[in-house]
Amino acid sequence: MNEKQKRLSSAFIVISCTIILTITGILTFVAYQDQLAKQGDIFDKVVAEQHMIWVSPILVLLVGLAVAAAVLFFGLWKINKSAQTK
């Protein structure tokens, strides 16, 4: 593995871990808010639903970023590998 591939792997690991931690944090927040809403009255449930509208688009965006990062990583890895063999 050459130096470019090592740097690429390190960057991919950092980006992937950041995206995974962000998704985990959002899901934990949603689960916590859901538990609070279940313990409250009907108004707490309505407010929780209104505040959770942003969750699905953000999760779709983060999954899209993870897929784009993976495609970019494998593409750059292949370019660096073919450049190394020449």
Low-confidence stretches of the chain (pLDDT beneath 50): none
Distance, in Å, from the CA atom of 9 to the CA atom of 11, rounded to the nearest integer, reads: 5
pTM: 0.77
In sequence order, what are the residues at sequence separation of 6 or more whose Cβ sits closer than 8 angstroms to the Cβ of residue 7?
Answer: none
Q: Contact, 20 vs 13, CB < 8 A? A: no
**Domain spans of the chain?**
3-80
Torsion, Cα of 40, 36, 62, 74 (10° steps)? -140
CA distances (Å), 63 to each of 20, 44, 57, 58, 69, in order? 9, 29, 10, 9, 10
